Structure 1
Amino acid sequence: MPEDDPSHPRRDRPSGVSVFRPGQTKDHGPLDIDIDVGRDIFTESFPLALFNPARVWESLNAVSLEADILARNGLFTKTTESRVGPTFDILRTRVAQAMAANGWRRLAITAPTHGCGSSFTAANLALALARRPGSRTVLIDLDLRRPNLHRLFGLPPTGALRDFLDGTQPMESLFVRIGHSLALGLNAEPVPDAGDVLHAPDTRDALQAMEVQLDPELVLVDLPPTLVGDDVIAMADKVDAVLLVADATKTTAKDIRACEQMFAGKVPLLGVVLNQAQDTGLGNLRYGKR
């Protein structure tokens, strides 16, 4: 979308589905990927013309997922494995279409407060996106204070993601891949000064370098709750949009408005996902039954 065109086409929800409410976008375009990203990923002997993201993708350590562990944690790799499978398929399509329409790539996923299911949503959305043939999706655990994605996926921790963000360790030493369409940036060590790390220019450089090397269609960034600190706002200039996960049993309208005010003028709110919804009129398409 041109920078001088702040409009965003409204997308009406399909009848009976209340899982995704597109919000108004701000004049916030995609990040410009500069090849000179502060990381030595290209040299004279390995020029950009010969660079092949598919080969870099294949160089990541391949891991397998255990179906019983995923099921126990509310995750699934096939639509038919869960009653909410069709709902996540709807969500992935609406997210992918909205991001593509704006030329955006990085989507932050957060919640107003702890326990709303943002990591659960991020993980299942990533798995749903990865089911599309020929696609490439990256999911990164940037809830640095309370890393949890490796537990949800039932995978052993690969190290401290902080070392990738500050350039100490290369991407290949910390990222893993599931098949040919999903890469995970997992974290094993809590970071007490997470806000400082996310503010750092090195973090922007790391994300840009990762995009250049892997060339994913979408990058999902799992972030901590918005209203408990400055971590999410620290990432506002490093993502293209935000998906907010609310819990129908405890999130208030005041919480959502407070988040909208924090995002205003900084990053577009792409939509709101309602977790733990109990509207029986939606049948198997309702979202929230784990």
Structure 2
Amino acid sequence: MKDTFTSATAEPEAAPDDRMVPSQGSFTRPRRFKTATRPPNVEAELIVEHSTKNVPAPLVNEPSAPVAPPRDLWGLLHEQEPGKDQHILEGSQAAEDFRATDVSRAFDLLRTRLRQTVKQNGWINIGIASPTKGCGSTFTAANLAASLSRVPSSRTVLMDFNMRAPGMAKVLDMDPSQSGNLRDFLAGDVAISDYIQRVSDTLAIGLADTALEDAAEILQDPATAVSLAEMRAALNPDIVLFDLPPLLTFDDTAAFLPQLDGVLLVSDGTQTMAKHLAECERVLGNQVPLLGVILNRARASSIERF
């Protein structure tokens, strides 16, 4: 997908190292996944060291060129409306009806507590994971993102990082083929404005549709950290939610923990056991705070009403 943004006035040419500002009509960024490099020429290094051994250092350093601040790309993101066959995002009668349920109100309560916590600690990156498959982490991430997006003048980014079994597009009835590939975005080959899609003034989503068996390796690659840092600088979100794979099934989420400020754990009232939660706490350890455990599919008789 090519960026179709055009300006009525001429823009100055972007600096070569600025991977967020359009250069010659595109947002293309160079690939940063590790590539093979030639070994250093030890002999040449010795010659250079010998030739400069007695040369005094300059007294005055040359001034470096000023670095332009990142450009806000939120308004340049491609837009995609969610389909009518979903009840989470606004735009359908089902979504309006869902807003009146106890489940929706529970997510609003979680939203407010989360916003207070991240603001108090200066956090942005929040992971949502479950101990095992089928606990409802994708459902939780989508509903929490929708609730956050209803806060005026806020910005929330929702990323589908369950790379082995991506499901956010299906839950939100959106077409992931309209955006660039997740692997290429994390490598730096797809522009931020060509991958992240905006569904409202306050919510943007990064979708995935292809299962990646090397997900753990991708999440640990330094290029991924750089691309996500660029995205945060370009979009300036209040919160970035990452829908992550089961914590105890693969090492994907464990590999991504250094990139997170906190984790919300989703447990299933029909299958999650105390030993699963204890093992998740052990995996998290001191790497990232466990912000709370969300109980999904609880028995109605166990829910206290106010």
TM-score by length of 1: 0.78
Q: Please tell me whether residue 162 in structure 1 is matched to residue 183 in structure 2.
A: yes
**CA distance change for structure 1 residues 77 and 136 in 2, over 3 Å: closer, same or farther?**
farther
Which residue matches 2:145?
126
Aligned 8 A contact 1:109 1:118 in 2: yes
Q: Secondary structure at the match of 2:197?
A: strand
Residue by residue over 1:31-56, the C-alpha shift from the partner in whole angstroms, topping out at 9 and shown as x without a partner, is xxxxxxx86236989921xx552xx1
Equivalent pairs: percent with the same residue?
A: 38
Aligned 8 A contact 1:70 1:154 in 2: no
Equivalences for residues 80-91 of structure 1 within 5 A: 80-91=99-110
Which residue matches 1:105?
124
Stretches of structure 2 that go unaligned for 5 or more consecutive residues are 1-16, 24-64
Alignment match of 2:113 (pick from 52, 69, 94): 94
Please tell me the residue identity of whatever aligns with 1:107: I
Q: Please tell me whether residue 203 in structure 1 is matched to residue 182 in structure 2.
A: no
Please tell me the residue identity of whatever aligns with 2:150: R
Deviation at 1:124, TM superposition (A): 0.3
Inter-partner Cα distance in structure 2 for 1:121 and 1:279:
18
**CA distance change for structure 1 residues 97 and 172 in 2, over 3 Å: closer, same or farther?**
same
Please tell me the residue identity of whatever aligns with 1:196: E
Please tell me the residue identity of whatever aligns with 2:252: D
Q: Please tell me whether residue 57 in structure 1 is matched to residue 57 in structure 2.
A: no
Alignment match of 2:249 (pick from 217, 222, 228): 228
Stretches of structure 1 that go unaligned for 5 or more consecutive residues are 1-37, 286-290
Q: Please tell me whether residue 70 in structure 1 is matched to residue 87 in structure 2.
A: yes
Equivalences for residues 31-50 of structure 1 within 5 A: 40-41=19-20, 47-48=68-69
Which residue matches 1:186?
207
Aligned 8 A contact 2:88 2:98 in 1: no
Aligned 8 A contact 1:77 1:127 in 2: no
Please tell me the residue identity of whatever aligns with 1:144: M
Residue by residue over 1:244-279, the C-alpha shift from the partner in whole angstroms, topping out at 9 and shown as x without a partner, is 000011100000000000001111111100000114
Please tell me the residue identity of whatever aligns with 2:189: T
Please tell me the residue identity of whatever aligns with 1:91: L
Residue by residue over 1:20-41, the C-alpha shift from the partner in whole angstroms, topping out at 9 and shown as x without a partner, is xxxxxxxxxxxxxxxxxx8623
Please tell me the residue identity of whatever aligns with 1:60: L
Alignment match of 1:243 (pick from 257, 260, 264): 264
Deviation at 1:229, TM superposition (A): 1.2
TM-score by length of 2: 0.74
Q: How many residues align?
A: 242
Deviation at 1:172, TM superposition (A): 1.3
Greater gyration radius: 2
Inter-partner Cα distance in structure 1 for 2:226 and 2:301:
46
Which residue matches 1:34?
none
Inter-partner Cα distance in structure 1 for 2:184 and 2:148:
27
Aligned 8 A contact 1:39 1:209 in 2: no
Residue by residue over 1:115-139, the C-alpha shift from the partner in whole angstroms, topping out at 9 and shown as x without a partner, is 0000000000000000001100000
Inter-partner Cα distance in structure 2 for 1:198 and 1:205:
11
Inter-partner Cα distance in structure 1 for 2:81 and 2:19:
30
**CA distance change for structure 1 residues 39 and 274 in 2, over 3 Å: closer, same or farther?**
farther
Aligned 8 A contact 2:187 2:224 in 1: yes
Q: Secondary structure at the match of 2:229?
A: helix
Please tell me the residue identity of whatever aligns with 1:134: S
**CA distance change for structure 1 residues 84 and 284 in 2, over 3 Å: closer, same or farther?**
farther
Equivalences for residues 272-287 of structure 1 within 5 A: 272-280=293-301, 282=303
Greater RCO (Cα-Cα under 8 Å, separation 6 or more): 1
Deviation at 1:96, TM superposition (A): 1.0
Inter-partner Cα distance in structure 1 for 2:71 and 2:305:
42
